[in-house]
Structure 1
């Protein structure tokens, strides 16, 4: 840990020095001024609103006819974001010229929410990006957030969940998951062990987030070839980047649900003293085993060669409940920043604890138990050889982050941003005795990690913008115990990246490149792996009219093999396989093609994207047909593969009255994945989905009802069973009460209202753990 802290101090000192030098250069620049007037869709001044210069982190509160005046703004291009609790949101882009004043009027509306900002890939609105994206935020996110990140995002186009029970689910994007989807917190990796196994939860909390961004397509290469599937970035504001518009801003969120007897409380306070901004937040959640329609089998799925089941059939769970699916989570965070007119420097600390069950039972098979019959009593008591029981995961993470950013305002150098994170992660897999309830640690996982990123924004010419930077990451991973299927390993990564964007009239061009190296070594393995890869992307946009635009992009990616893929050698009971790595794996090369059409008017917004991802040496787990320790052997292998599919989403305003809007939305997505040599389907690929809904939104009332159909998945890999289709119906209604600055939000929501049995084809536990049954949830949020 001392080495991590020393590295952190060195990186922080370098970043601070760079930023302070840049800030002096910024002061030498002649600045301009921005004046913002806020109106509603009828052209009338709004009652109150917060006006923010996004790139500077400066925010002002206005009421009625007041203008927001931002002085000493460095020359350059900026996004102005306005948010009114009663009238909605709006976004405008402005260009500031040295020595001049820019006057702009921003119209706010509840409809479309002014096109969401996406900060993960250069900062801009969704309509301006060269890649598909989705943003969740605000009370809608807090009311719909699930106990896992994967389930929180699983109903978005192109996004599914690995669903290993309610405590552990990771996003699957366009059929790709695991290490091919990077989960970030404010631009840095989450620092956990969730890519190692589907029963390992990401150490992030959706309900504590300000916003969650999902990025698909070639732009994800800014975060490395391992992000070829996609990027999920959680922004929680624990490092303050601005002085709040009021001395104290606070929220308190309380939530209860019926399906698992959920009790959830989260609180947050942001404030300032002069130039010092402060942040404090906390969360506690507790759920019981969740209710299901009918029965959930907990058959151990005996591999070929074992004795047949007896006449009574497989063991089944109690009707109406999924055993060992409870979750208990606690989170706390604090941050402190110095905020200037043109930037900030800040630090934060995060603690995250979670204790969750892995449904379906656990333990070694009968053969392994027989092998241990002759061991001494002490070993039997400690190892529980041959026993079955519930497995729980006790996860603990402590994390410290440093962040800084400054706008330089030069003709070439526009800004600099530095991020550095230190993570101390551990989790214990605990076997709970079926009779006594004793908890014995079977396996310990440790992950110590640091990661840093330095990015410099620049402009080569008028109408262009870009960034170059460096990225480094060090990971020390160790597993000890019954399921130590991966030897202790150390991984050091270094990368340099560049991206440029040019606009001429109706045409836009974006290009990027990234070169990265990875050194991987493992205990007991003589040879150290040194891999390198080059990734690049090129995209173009053509605005056919004010309403219609076409986007095309291509990327070449290089995913370097991970320690798990190289060196695994042992039983992995969470997935019920014996995993074998291959130290001779080569970097996985991919070619991604994306094309999209976007239509945006005052009353409608539509986007259709099609994609094709071809891989040379796609890395996946192939079943060998052999057995080890009573488990089927899965070997990390490589073969050429191709993923193709589409995503579609549309929102249409049916009609409006005054400040109220009635909206219809629809979506659909599909992915087909197979090995190119023999057209063999890859395992756990999502099925075709589509859905539609009706919604209403006004300053006081909002509501939504939606039906989603997931087709059955008949295209299955070897050793994989088909999955039945299902239809789910969800609904919500919310009411907002204003008392001066105080707002009360009350949301009543229901999921799976028809209490339909549904199982996810993407889950290793689909035969053991169906989705929850009908749930009614009540959320209350107090904010001021």
Structure 2
């Protein structure tokens, strides 16, 4: 423990030493800006009013890549992960997850079933992404009620929007010792005349991963050495092309994704997932007088997965077919106002049926549809920028042989950003957002073996209503940059799954091994704060980042919301000299003992990672050799936001070796 405290203290002191020195240098130097595509005006990440944003791209994204989307983003400000084994790990933003966090690919929904349960994987491979955008807070105005807690947009540029003068791309190979993982990914772009072409592919295989102690903390009789059933194997491929002219572009893409992974629960399970996806994208610049562009997107997905028991007998079959469209019209500046309005539609058919016809259906076949109108406007009044948006949406759930439900939803947001000094800004946002109950929350009625629950939906659930106030203060230029956010989110009729204490078997008879989980509603409050400071030199030398985040979610009656993230403190130190890069990061999470019913406390932990990379030039290629050590202290790490925290710790110490080349 003394060693860990010393590491933390050294890292913190180093950070503030470098930050103080930076103030004495030229703070007017600005770093390159990254455009956030999932915003109405394509602004940079420091200019967001509607929601604070973070973008991972380039070298930073490659260094943080994990086996899943949740693992990749787990150390970002305000973001944690559900951590349901290595195969399924979905992002949680400010204590909200599942159907309240919308995961998108190139601006359209992922259309998998990861919102239904923590054991379901997101059907997007981060290894072929060019950029991952995180929008924290209620982004419902643009992307629907599924984004009431925030959204993640994975950008892989599968449909090209520009013509490359020569073929470009990237290839990467990795090997990890803790899980004997082997992975490869490739992404390439080219053009023929006016046709842009894109190809990407990835494959990864990992065995059960090593753990530092026993699977069940304090139980030497439980599994040790390696965590049983924690393997994961996935492969995917995508191809896209588009016709590109000065007036805009029109393109299409097709992709497939297959994922086979274990669920390391007491019950044990294996999930075999496959999805086919088809997208089109049309952009017309200056379509008619007074308008900058019109954009139309279509996305169709066909998703299936089967859950198997330890004897490889199928238990539940999930399917989801979805068609989503977006129509966006951006107008030219009018009396200082610029803005966008549009239409979004979704049509889907979801079902989760027991493989044994004699057992109850987990989720009945249900058709869902929604239509929405949205508009966002923005205007600058000198140093003050105002933003306002409005969204109206109707949603319908139509199950087979069950009562259908319809919901009328409305949302609005009013925000401002005051640049009171050059490079300094104060922002405030007031928002109101509504979410319709999901299909599983309304109609679940059967066993879900992977989570060891017998889920019981409530067809009488009402829509959720969120009222959110957020304040932010930031410095966005110079060698030292920082930001701080505080938020208070009051949710009426918050929907959650409560463990009743009763147990059932697969047929629904009392006294089995499955815990009854009832979907209920109560008012809730989620509040918290986040802060981050970074120092980035103009050339070689030391860079540093320190961050802290905390949130607290409570139901009426002072009971905590289930699976809430622990308060965290983190530090990153990086050093660059010529072709060499090195770095270390330390994240400390406090003990989480603010619990919902039937939850257990999660012990504190400190995770230390280190990395080293060397980049060389060979002909026209840039080759980077890299190595990293994850969980350097071989800590027994259990995540408070995981349903499996008491029986499935994270991997122990692991050495990752790899090579990456860009051409």
TM-score, with normalisation over the residues of structure 2? 0.91
2:7 alignment counterpart: none
**Contact 1:582–1:636 at 8 Å: present in 2 too?**
yes
Q: Is 1:645 aligned with 2:528?
A: yes
1:499 alignment counterpart: 376
Within a 5 Å distance, the mapping from 1:743-758 to structure 2 comes to 743-758=622-637
1:405 alignment counterpart: 283
- Consecutive unaligned residues of structure 1, counting only runs of 5 or more, are 1-108, 300-312, 363-389, 434-438
Question: C-alpha distance in 2, partners of 1:546/1:154?
Answer: 32
2:33 alignment counterpart: 115
In the alignment, which of 376, 395, 415 is matched to residue 293 of structure 2?
Answer: 415
Question: C-alpha distance in 2, partners of 1:721/1:628?
Answer: 22
- Consecutive unaligned residues of structure 2, counting only runs of 5 or more, are 1-26, 506-511
Question: C-alpha distance in 1, partners of 2:293/2:275?
Answer: 32
Kindly state the Cα deviation for residue 756 of structure 1 after the two structures are TM-superposed.
Answer: 0.4
Q: What secondary structure sits across from 1:114 in the alignment?
A: coil
**Contact 2:71–2:89 at 8 Å: present in 1 too?**
yes
**Contact 2:134–2:151 at 8 Å: present in 1 too?**
yes
In the alignment, which of 616, 620, 628 is matched to residue 504 of structure 2?
Answer: 628
1:713 alignment counterpart: 592
In the alignment, which of 399, 417, 426 is matched to residue 522 of structure 1?
Answer: 399
Question: C-alpha distance in 2, partners of 1:255/1:779?
Answer: 4
My pick for the range that moved more, 404-413 or 348-357, is 404-413
In the alignment, which of 43, 54, 57 is matched to residue 124 of structure 1?
Answer: 43
Kindly state the Cα deviation for residue 511 of structure 1 after the two structures are TM-superposed.
Answer: 0.6
Within a 5 Å distance, the mapping from 1:600-749 to structure 2 comes to 600-629=476-505, 630=512, 631-653=514-536, 659-676=539-556, 678-697=557-576, 700-749=579-628
**1:691-723 C-alpha deviation (Å, 9 max, x unpaired):** 112112356222221111000001111111111
**Contact 1:219–1:537 at 8 Å: present in 2 too?**
no
Q: Is 1:325 aligned with 2:236?
A: no
Kindly state the Cα deviation for residue 314 of structure 1 after the two structures are TM-superposed.
Answer: 8.4
Question: C-alpha distance in 2, partners of 1:504/1:697?
Answer: 41
1:560 alignment counterpart: 436
**Contact 1:198–1:574 at 8 Å: present in 2 too?**
no
Within a 5 Å distance, the mapping from 1:192-591 to structure 2 comes to 192-244=112-164, 246-297=165-216, 316-317=222-223, 319-362=224-267, 390-408=268-286, 412-433=290-311, 439-481=312-354, 484-525=361-402, 527-591=403-467
**Contact 1:538–1:555 at 8 Å: present in 2 too?**
yes
**Contact 1:486–1:564 at 8 Å: present in 2 too?**
yes
**Cα gap change, 1:500 to 1:698, in 2 (>3 Å):** farther
**Contact 2:140–2:146 at 8 Å: present in 1 too?**
no
2:655 alignment counterpart: 776
Question: C-alpha distance in 1, partners of 2:258/2:113?
Answer: 14
**Cα gap change, 1:250 to 1:520, in 2 (>3 Å):** same
Kindly state the Cα deviation for residue 740 of structure 1 after the two structures are TM-superposed.
Answer: 4.6
Question: C-alpha distance in 2, partners of 1:721/1:562?
Answer: 27
Question: C-alpha distance in 2, partners of 1:752/1:113?
Answer: 31
Question: C-alpha distance in 1, partners of 2:31/2:542?
Answer: 14
Q: What secondary structure sits across from 1:125 in the alignment?
A: coil
Question: C-alpha distance in 2, partners of 1:430/1:487?
Answer: 19
Question: C-alpha distance in 1, partners of 2:37/2:47?
Answer: 12
Question: C-alpha distance in 2, partners of 1:645/1:162?
Answer: 19
**Contact 1:143–1:779 at 8 Å: present in 2 too?**
no
Kindly state the Cα deviation for residue 315 of structure 1 after the two structures are TM-superposed.
Answer: 5.0
**Contact 1:485–1:572 at 8 Å: present in 2 too?**
yes
**1:366-393 C-alpha deviation (Å, 9 max, x unpaired):** xxxxxxxxxxxxxxxxxxxxxxxx4211
- How many correspondences in the alignment? 623
**Contact 1:570–1:580 at 8 Å: present in 2 too?**
yes
Question: C-alpha distance in 1, partners of 2:63/2:535?
Answer: 23
Question: C-alpha distance in 1, partners of 2:197/2:600?
Answer: 52
Question: C-alpha distance in 2, partners of 1:314/1:754?
Answer: 21
**1:706-750 C-alpha deviation (Å, 9 max, x unpaired):** 111000001111111111000000111222112353111122111
1:187 alignment counterpart: 107
**Contact 1:498–1:512 at 8 Å: present in 2 too?**
yes
**Cα gap change, 1:699 to 1:594, in 2 (>3 Å):** farther
**Contact 2:140–2:411 at 8 Å: present in 1 too?**
no
Kindly state the Cα deviation for residue 250 of structure 1 after the two structures are TM-superposed.
Answer: 2.5
Kindly state the Cα deviation for residue 361 of structure 1 after the two structures are TM-superposed.
Answer: 3.6
Kindly state the Cα deviation for residue 298 of structure 1 after the two structures are TM-superposed.
Answer: 9.9
**Contact 1:141–1:207 at 8 Å: present in 2 too?**
no
Kindly state the Cα deviation for residue 661 of structure 1 after the two structures are TM-superposed.
Answer: 3.3
**1:20-66 C-alpha deviation (Å, 9 max, x unpaired):** xxxxxxxxxxxxxxxxxxxxxxxxxxxxxxxxxxxxxxxxxxxxxxx
In the alignment, which of 454, 469, 476 is matched to residue 593 of structure 1?
Answer: 469
**Contact 2:178–2:652 at 8 Å: present in 1 too?**
yes
Larger radius of gyration between Structure 1 and Structure 2: 1
**Cα gap change, 1:165 to 1:499, in 2 (>3 Å):** same
**Contact 2:499–2:518 at 8 Å: present in 1 too?**
yes
Question: C-alpha distance in 2, partners of 1:481/1:594?
Answer: 44
**1:513-538 C-alpha deviation (Å, 9 max, x unpaired):** 1111111011221x221111000001
Kindly state the Cα deviation for residue 557 of structure 1 after the two structures are TM-superposed.
Answer: 0.5
TM-score, with normalisation over the residues of structure 1? 0.77
In the alignment, which of 750, 761, 765 is matched to residue 644 of structure 2?
Answer: 765
Kindly state the Cα deviation for residue 582 of structure 1 after the two structures are TM-superposed.
Answer: 0.9
Within a 5 Å distance, the mapping from 1:42-81 to structure 2 comes to none
Kindly state the Cα deviation for residue 578 of structure 1 after the two structures are TM-superposed.
Answer: 1.8
Kindly state the Cα deviation for residue 669 of structure 1 after the two structures are TM-superposed.
Answer: 0.4
Kindly state the Cα deviation for residue 462 of structure 1 after the two structures are TM-superposed.
Answer: 4.8
**Contact 2:443–2:459 at 8 Å: present in 1 too?**
yes
**1:405-458 C-alpha deviation (Å, 9 max, x unpaired):** 12217662111111111101101112232xxxxx32221111111111010011
**Contact 2:265–2:450 at 8 Å: present in 1 too?**
no
**Contact 1:121–1:219 at 8 Å: present in 2 too?**
no
Q: What secondary structure sits across from 1:243 in the alignment?
A: coil
Q: What secondary structure sits across from 1:150 in the alignment?
A: helix
Q: What secondary structure sits across from 1:293 in the alignment?
A: strand
Kindly state the Cα deviation for residue 753 of structure 1 after the two structures are TM-superposed.
Answer: 0.3
Kindly state the Cα deviation for residue 606 of structure 1 after the two structures are TM-superposed.
Answer: 0.2
Q: What secondary structure sits across from 1:564 in the alignment?
A: helix
